[in-house]
Amino acid sequence: MKVPFLDLQAHHAPLRAEIDCAIAQVIDAGAFAGGPFVADFEREFAAYCGCEYAIGVGNGTDALWLALLACNIGAGDEVITVPSTFMATAEAITYCGATPVFVDIDESTYTMDPARLELALSSKTKGIIPVHLFGQTADMDPILEFARARGLFVIEDAAQAHGAEYKGRKAGTLGDAGCFSFYPGKNLGAFGEAGAVVTNDARINEKIRVLRDHGQVRKYNHSMIGWNCRMDGIQGAVLQVKLRQLDRGNALRRKHAAGYNNAFRELETVIAPTEAEWGKHVYHVYALRVPERDALLAHLNEAGIGCGIHYPIPVHLQQAYRGLGYGRGTFRVSEQTSNEFLSLPMYPELSTEQVRAVVGAVEEAVAFAALN
Ligand SMILES: *Cc1c(COP(=O)(O)O)cnc(C)c1O
């Protein structure tokens, strides 16, 4: 049985008539760049997250960049984040003229290890970006406590954590600002590029609204140098339809993850993901850890199971960041997991048979291939 890594067609098929209708409304209204469909989505997404404001922007990278700018982060500043993330987290820091400073991740949650923050602190540190990797929040209380005691901003990279929770509160609403991506494959995905910042801070909300639209406070009145980071009207309309499916989709992801976990607990050579007691994991990515990752990947590909690797090279070892001067061996957990992570198919529309097929193929590989 073939199991694709992602299946957006299956996700959109039952919503197709509703989405076609939403797109037709945008065309009829001619509201393509920003406008009422984006404003309606912003209100609905803020309400979903349980916070005051949501600001729609062009993509998740814009969200991070503008959130940093709204917190006055600029040249000469340092922002602490993790190397086990998508490149965009660090890039956004660099765009501001600031320098990313990395700390390693925790071995069980794969998110920022708060105990290591002290090692990365300097007189230039202005903020911290914890990443809610794979759909599980970082341990936010000690991170927030560390930041508050030193007057640092906390901007959450929640691009993989739509609807995830930390102690009953939604990812993105715990720090000064939370940044979301609606890239098509995310738990809440647009029909193209889109992103949002959520915040309870009126000043951050105002500043991002101005920054995303060329620094305009009124038409052709520019109070600062901004950029074009508006969300498309079509994305706002599509996201309103898809937001109504988010909780259902996350519940199904959790069910499939439980199915995987039950099977993989029995296997000695693989480490299944764990859900920390503080949170609700929404499994954007279901990543196993396997020392013989490449052998398992080859076996699963042969069996018709689509897999991914998130991410094969930690950010501090990317060629683009060689100028930062981090060598191999600096962040043991991030480096080891980058060699061991293997992402299995994970989306709401997986059938029980497909989950069983993936489990069967992994078990077969562990039993017969050179995994032991
Ligand atoms: C997807 C993603 C981003 C970037 O979002 P885009 O919408 O692709 O710009 C940033 N951080 C993380 C952790 C992501 O997964």
Residue spans of the domains in the chain: they are 8-104+111-243, 246-370
Q: For residue range 304-330, what is the model confidence (pLDDT) as tens digits?
A: 999 999 999 999 999 999 999 999 999
- pLDDT above 60 (res 288): yes
Specify the pTM: 0.98
Report whether residue 86 contacts ligand 1, using a CB cutoff of 6 Å.
yes
Q: Ligand 1 within 6 A of 213 CB?
A: no
Average pLDDT over residues 238-245: 98
Average model confidence (pLDDT) across the chain: 97
99-120 mean pLDDT: 98
pLDDT tens digits, one per residue of 147-181 = 999 999 999 999 999 999 999 999 999 999 999 99
Report, as an integer, the average pLDDT of 8-31: 97
Region 236-252: mean pLDDT is 98
138 within ligand 1 shell (Cβ under 6 A):
no
> Domain 246-370, CATH 3.20.20.10 — does that match?
no
Q: Closest residue (by CA) to atom 14 of ligand 1?
A: 159
Q: Give the residue-averaged pLDDT of 276-302.
A: 96
pLDDT at 371: 47
CA end-to-end span of the chain, whole Å?
25
User: Half-sphere exposure of 36 toward its Cβ, with a 13 Å CA cutoff?
Assistant: 9
Which pLDDT score, from 0 to 100, does residue 372 have? 46
Contact 124, 152 (CB under 8 A): no
How far apart are the CA of 58 and the centre of ligand 1, in A? Answer: 12
Residue found under tokens 């020392």? 291
Question: What is the spatial order of strands in the sheet that 165-166 belongs to?
Answer: 169-170, 165-166, 279-280
The DSSP call for residue 14 is G
Distance 85 CA to ligand 1 centre (A): 9
Mean pLDDT to the nearest integer, 72-92: 98
Residue 130 near ligand 1, beta carbon < 6 Å: no
180-186, long-range: CB < 8 A, 24+ apart: 180/45, 180/60, 180/63, 181/59, 181/60, 181/61, 181/63, 181/88, 182/59, 182/60, 182/235, 182/239, 183/59, 183/60, 183/159, 184/8, 185/6, 185/8, 186/60, 186/159, 186/160, 186/162, 186/284
Residue-level pLDDT at 369: 59
Q: How far, in whole angstroms, is CA 178 from its chain's centroid? A: 10
- The alpha carbon of 90 and the centre of ligand 1 are apart by a number of angstroms equal to 11
Under the banding of pLDDT at 50, 70 and 90, the label for residue 44 is very high
At 368 the pLDDT is: 75
Q: Which single residue is written with the structure tokens 């729609």?
A: 56
**Residue 23: predicted pLDDT:** 98
What confidence score (pLDDT) does residue 266 get?
87
Task: Write the pLDDT tens digit of every residue in 328-337.
Answer: 999 999 999 9
Protein fold of 8-104+111-243: Aspartate Aminotransferase; domain 2 (3.40.640)
CB of 89 within 6 A of ligand 1: the answer is yes
Q: Give the type of residue at 172.
A: G
pLDDT tens per residue across span 353-365? 999 999 999 999 9
| Ligand 1 within 6 A of CB of 135 | no
Atom of ligand 1 nearest to the CA of 85: 13
Q: Given this model, what pLDDT does residue 367 score?
A: 85
